[in-house]
Structure 1
Amino acid sequence: MQAITSPVSTKPNRVTLWANLISVYILWGSTYLFIHFMTEQMPPLYMVSVRYLIAGVILYSYARVSGTPNPTLAEWKSSGIIGILLLAVANGCLSLGIQYIPSGMAALMGGLLPVYLLSLNWISFGKKRPSNLALAGLAIGLLGIYLLVKPDKLQGTGGVDAKLIGVGLVAAGNFAWAIGTLLTPRLSLPSGTISSGIQMIIGGLVLMPISLALEPVSLFSIFDAPGKAIGSMIYLVIFGSIIGFSSYSWLARNATPQLLSTYAFVNPVVAMLLGTTFAGEVFSSQSFVGAVVALVGVVLITLGRK
């Protein structure tokens, strides 16, 4: 993978494209549950910062040892911008939001991401109107997400005000994620692996001082974390960050916004299945119908991506 300075004009290998897409579908669908486990007894911003610092150092070191040249200052700046948007802001907001609303509702709100992606790409970034089929798929997918996790059936950890805070945080995170995604192919970035590593390092470095200032932690509080939080963080480092985020970064460079946005419909399906299996959540017949409807939306958006 070479550094990208403009939107990709050639078609990527279909096997590589779908391998990365399935990775994002499944692995990122599981991250809602593990973020919840990771932050049950530990401050969210601190744990997210440690997660990305560890994953970023691993990816960056691997890239350098395998012969990837040291990025230029301009590439560090570009990668840093993406890292701040995608990891510090978007994932920081998500991890905070899950403290106020159930992970199922956070997954539901992830279904709004295609609205940001397609709208921003239409209005500002690409000046390109999505096809009618893609717009129809978007509408059907959003309906499926609503049926999958009906908001009035969810109980948050606080009152109405707490839920509004959680919803606002997750919505702000989705907006930052959409901007970062659409900026990615428009910036001069180094090769994929080292770029992902830089983004995680910068994202973690931005979050750490914020955590130390706002949360009851010290730099070495990770050594006091319970085993469940550590195990969840290790899972998120390997599967959510190193594998999943690297796949997403590749897709942001090589896939259309319509196709890329489909993961936001599949992730809640995976999240609900895992919640049912491992967290005792009830997966009703309505939720099953919602999952099927959401997948129909994915198919339509995929077919209409051109």
Structure 2
Amino acid sequence: LALRVGVTHFPAFLFSAVRQTIAGILLVGIALIWGKERLSFEKGAMRYVVPGILMISLGNGLVGWAQQYIPSGLAALICSIMPVWVVIINLSASRDDRPNWQIALGLALGCAGMVVVFRENVADLANWDYVFGIVLTFVATLSWALGSIYAKQKPGNSGLLANAGLQLFFGGLGLFGFSWAFDDFNKWHGLVDEGVWALAYLVIFGSIGAFAAFSYALSKLPVGLVSIYAYINPLVAVFLGWLILSEKFNPAVLVALVLTVGGVFVVNKGYRAMRYP
């Protein structure tokens, strides 16, 4: 929701670039000063650049671009398929944290919850801008899944917060390149209070807080389990989009809630079975 507000008042890629670069610098500073961590490029800068580009430049940046064309709730719902990409990629690669059938079933239930709400927007598919926004969001989810798996398999050897901060920073730099290539600055009329507040909120909570928590979970848990956060976000986004931006809200969301929570429960049960057979 805050991202939708932000890209309404800023060029989309510029908004994400400023947000992620500032968040990356602040998080690295926190890691060095309060966390007593260190920066290390012993394993190469690509350990930070690749996940930064995949998750931040493409994963986050494309979602911001897409929200010029589709509602924030729908974007979040499409993002909930990200765990499905993780399952498909893991099954193809045969990694050690390969999901069992219970995890796969839970992910399927979560996707079913997304479909229940998504079907309400079928009539809008006649609008090509709308379709473009949907395609961008699907590509973003795949990119985020790939970045998550890469970060899990090839972590940087700085501290946890420093790793996350460097990924945000390099991802933000990539977004400046996208901004130069794709943003239309002729439509930007300068800073607006709502846009600045959205930027500040996302820097603190959406990037520093949420991405640091995601990176911590990724370092401790299988990617398939970490990715289930994507099922809760859509329901919150749909509700807030209805409350604040007058986006669609109907009883189908309640059905989606049951399917989503059920999916999370089954995934957790599958993970426990995998860890403690």
Both proteins in one fold, TM over 0.5: yes
CA distance in 2, matches of 1:271, 1:160: 22
Secondary structure of the 1:94 match is helix
From 230, 234, 245, give the equivalent of 1:268: 234
How many residue pairs get matched? Answer: 270
SS in 2 for 1:252: helix
Aligned to 1:21: none
Whether the 8 Å contact between 2:17 and 2:175 is mirrored in structure 1 is yes
In structure 2, the residue matched to 1:146 is 115
Aligned counterpart, 1:181: 148
Matched, 1:196 2:170: no
Equivalent residue number for residue 206 of structure 1: 174
Partner of residue 235, structure 1: 201
Asked if the contact 2:11/2:188 (under 8 Å) is kept, the reply is: no
Cα 1:191/1:118, change in 2 over 3 Å: same
Identity %: 27
Using the alignment, how far apart are the partners of 1:70 and 1:128 within structure 2? 28
- Report the residue type matching 1:72 in the other structure: F
TM normalised by structure 2 equals 0.90
> Residues 41-91 of structure 1, C-alpha deviation per residue, up to 9 Å, x if partnerless?
211000000001111111112222233223125353211111111100111
2:30 aligned with 1:62, yes or no? yes
- Is the CA contact 2:13–2:175 (under 8 Å) kept in the aligned structure 1? yes
Give, as a single letter, the amino acid of the residue that structure 1 aligns with 2:202: L
Question: More displaced, 221-230 or 82-91?
Answer: 221-230
Displacement, 1:257? 2.5
- Would the alpha carbon gap of residues 223 and 89 (structure 1) be closer, same or farther in structure 2, given more than 3 Å must change? same
Out of 213, 222, 243, the position equivalent to 1:247 is 213
The ranges of structure 1 where at least 4 consecutive aligned residues each deviate by more than 6 angstroms after the TM superposition are none
Picking from 118, 127, 148, the partner of 2:87 is: 118
What's the secondary structure of 2:45's corresponding residue? helix
Find 2:5's aligned residue among 14, 37, 43: 37
Separation in 2, partners of 1:131, 1:51: 37
Matched residue, 1:165: 132
Are 1:84 and 1:206, in contact at CA under 8 Å, matched by a contact in 2?
A: yes
Determine if the alignment matches structure 1 residue 79 to structure 2 residue 48.
yes
Whether 1:281 aligns to 2:240 is no
The alignment partner of 2:149 has SS state of helix
* Stretches of structure 1 lacking an aligned partner (at least 5 in a row): 1-32
Q: Aligned partners of 2:139 and 2:108: how far apart in 1?
A: 21
CA contact (8 A) 1:50 1:204 kept: yes
- Write the letter of the residue equivalent to 1:54: I
Q: Which residue of 2 aligns with 1:226?
A: 192
Picking from 225, 238, 245, the partner of 1:259 is 225
Partner of 2:66: 97
CA contact (8 A) 1:51 1:236 kept: yes
Deviates further, 240-249 or 103-112: 103-112
1:196-233 Cα offsets, whole Å, 9 max, x none, are 11111111111113312432449xx9992211011001
CA distance in 1, matches of 2:97, 2:171: 30
Structure 2, unmatched stretches of 5+, are none
Match of 1:107? 76
Q: Considering only aligned residues, what root-mean-square deviation do their CA atoms show, in Å? A: 2.2
Q: TM-score, normalised to structure 1's length? A: 0.82
Corresponding residue of 1:134: 103
- Contact between 1:108 and 1:268, CA under 8 Å: does it hold in 2? yes
